[in-house]
Structure 1
Amino acid sequence: MEKEFNGRDLKLGQIQDGNSDYTRYHITYKSGDLTISGIMNIPKGIPPEDGWPVLFLNHGHIDTSVYTNGRGLRREQDYLARQGFAVLHSDYRNHTQSDKDPNTETDVRLGYVEDVINAVMAVKNSDISSLSKERFGMLGHSMGGGISQAVMVVRPDLVDAIVLYAPVSSDVVDSYNRWTLRNSSNAEKIRSAHGSPEENPEFWKNMSPRTFFDRVKTPIIIFHGTADESCDIEWSRETRELLLAAGKRVELVEYPGQYHEFGATFDDFMKRSSDFFKNNLK
């Protein structure tokens, strides 16, 4: 995915909510020629000299017909903003108020990766003085974990730390077999454009983050429940082993009995994630 990323025109819109710790804004920014919507939680009080460190949260798959602005990871958005992080949650293209891209599914959702990278670039290029232009972290859940894995190999220097929360496999063929084949229309479009994994293994290899783990520069921590009914914990175990084999900094935290969205271990997950970001966003 060799291309220029020109994220820009980050705009804080209507205030959606607020409390004693942060203000929640509707936002828009430009990703290529598209306008992307999202939300941003910005802490109250006096920011550090270089601005609040910024975390980019990447949500998992939610049907675009029911998705609403900022949906997914609401608990995480709240917790992390209360810890002194500005939190930007992109809606991605084709979701709610974002512009539409008819090729997103055929392009194996690479557009979502572009939108997330451009969200970071939009902060870097913004004139919002309360936001740091250098201290960035990223958290991705499920499909958003796959997006985060793509980011860490496409733009290895983009962020300082990455949290993967019950992520999809680092081999996109696993996602193809698990979900794409269930939608015969999308599967046929993808096969027509790129071939199936059996017909065109080189394409699918090049779409898989694990192929390029040698490029990773970011410390990574993975959290996964052993009872995850959506994303197999074996996927995260394999990802950890491949990253270790490539000489990268990675840790896997397994939560026995936890499902795709954490319940009893949520507070521990959030504290560890917050501490991880605080230790690496310096």
Structure 2
Amino acid sequence: AAVWETAGRPPEIAVTDVAGGEWRQVTGLNDDLARLAVHQEEVTWTGPDGLAVHGLLLTRREPAPPGPAPLVVIAHGGPTWLWSSAFAPAESGQLALPLVHAGAAVLLPNPRGSSGRGQDYARRVVGHVGEEDLDDVLAGVDHLVAAGVADPGRMAVLGLSYGGYLSAWAVTRTGRFRAAVVMSGVADWLSFANASNLAHGYDPLYHGGADIATSEGRDFLAARSPVCHAAKVTTPTLILHGAEDRTTPVGQAEELYRAWSAAGVRTQLVVYPREGHELTEPGHRRDAAERVLGWLTGNGVL
């Protein structure tokens, strides 16, 4: 037995013979959700250095209003992780579907550093966190704008964990997004190095061995930390975080909020009690979804 789903079919239990054969669906627990399915297609584009980059584009099934749509980019965590086709792509609180139903086109990019395309592709981010991987994401945005899919004046970026970091980092590098949402994101690699339960494995790998005990290592980490570049930010940013997060401790959210606020950036911080790295309580998940939709609407994206 297994859980079986497609882009157009919500998860159900299916069975097959041990020796093999056709899968047969045996439950219909989520039949009522099938009406919420959205159109999903694979998209490819070229990174700034010519590397082929892949992602998923989610849009409404029914005819959309004429002209380009608002675009929401959702960056995945990791960075060695990936977006793959599913009824409701699971990361970032399963926000992709409600955002599409609110009228947005949603890009789920798999920039260099993502899994699913071999070790060489995954290792391209080692020592280059926030560099070429962000360039790949922005090239995907350019591709959709050029294709007439995305309205360049109504775009947002959001993500969870490393995706939250990349969202915060993106708005220190470009002002093209009208709004950002940072969920459980890293804001300061220096404090992360001692506070996170991942730190002593993360720095030797993704930061190319940068050592916080040396001035060179500290300079390397600071150069890639959003809080050290707050003066460059103009994008309104919503920050959502779990109070009990051990992977990216809540201090990361507090640092980001203080840095953005001191720089005059419109920002809001929401901390959810009892929650860890991802929200699990239904009431909190609903509250977060409503806040994200409200933030994007209030800032002219939706």
Class of the TM-score when normalised by the shorter of the 2 chains: 0.7 to 0.9
CA distance in 2, matches of 1:85, 1:184: 36
Residue 121 of structure 2 aligns to a residue in which SS? coil
Structural mapping, 1:115-134, within 5 Å: 115-128=136-149, 131-134=150-153
Q: 1:173 to 1:266 in 2, by over 3 A?
A: same
Residue 148 of structure 1 aligns to a residue in which SS? helix
Deviation digits for residues 202-246 of structure 1 (CA, Å, limit 9, x no counterpart) = 333222111111111111111111122321111101110111111
Alpha-carbon shift at residue 68 of structure 1 (Å): 5.8
Mapped contact 1:226–1:233 kept (Cα < 8 A) = yes
Note the residue ranges of structure 2 that are not aligned, 5 or more in a row.
Answer: 1-5, 10-33
Q: 1:114 to 1:51 in 2, by over 3 A?
A: same
CA distance in 1, matches of 2:104, 2:184: 22
Match of 1:146 among 151, 161, 165: 165
CA distance in 1, matches of 2:101, 2:182: 20
Moved more, 135-144 or 258-267: 258-267
Match of 1:165 among 154, 175, 183: 183
Q: Which residue of 1 aligns with 2:125?
A: 104
Deviation digits for residues 56-110 of structure 1 (CA, Å, limit 9, x no counterpart) = 001111655xx56256347111221122211111122143248826442122352
Equivalent AA in structure 2 for residue 134 of structure 1: G
Q: Which residue of 1 aligns with 2:47?
A: 31
Equivalent AA in structure 2 for residue 107 of structure 1: H
Q: Which residue of 1 aligns with 2:69?
A: 52
CA distance in 1, matches of 2:244, 2:264: 29
Moved over 4 A (4+): 18-21, 194-197
2:211 counterpart of 1:211:
no
CA distance in 1, matches of 2:147, 2:191: 37
CA distance in 2, matches of 1:184, 1:210: 18
Structural mapping, 1:1-282, within 5 Å: 16-17=7-8, 20=35, 22-32=38-48, 33-61=50-78, 63-64=80-81, 67=82, 69=84, 72-73=91-92, 75-93=94-112, 94-97=114-117, 100=121, 102-128=123-149, 131-155=150-174, 157-168=175-186, 170-177=187-194, 178=196, 179-182=198-201, 186=205, 190-191=208-209, 196=212, 198-200=214-216, 201-263=218-280, 264=282, 265-282=284-301
Q: Which residue of 1 aligns with 2:14?
A: none
CA distance in 2, matches of 1:121, 1:69: 21
Identity %: 21
Mapped contact 1:37–1:91 kept (Cα < 8 A) = yes
RMSD (CA atoms) = 2.7
Alpha-carbon shift at residue 38 of structure 1 (Å): 1.4
Q: 1:185 to 1:279 in 2, by over 3 A?
A: closer
Equivalent AA in structure 1 for residue 277 of structure 2: H
Mapped contact 1:42–1:87 kept (Cα < 8 A) = yes
CA distance in 2, matches of 1:74, 1:23: 19
Deviation digits for residues 123-164 of structure 1 (CA, Å, limit 9, x no counterpart) = 222244xx3233101111011111111110111x22110011
Alpha-carbon shift at residue 176 of structure 1 (Å): 4.0
Equivalent AA in structure 2 for residue 96 of structure 1: G
Equivalent AA in structure 1 for residue 115 of structure 2: H
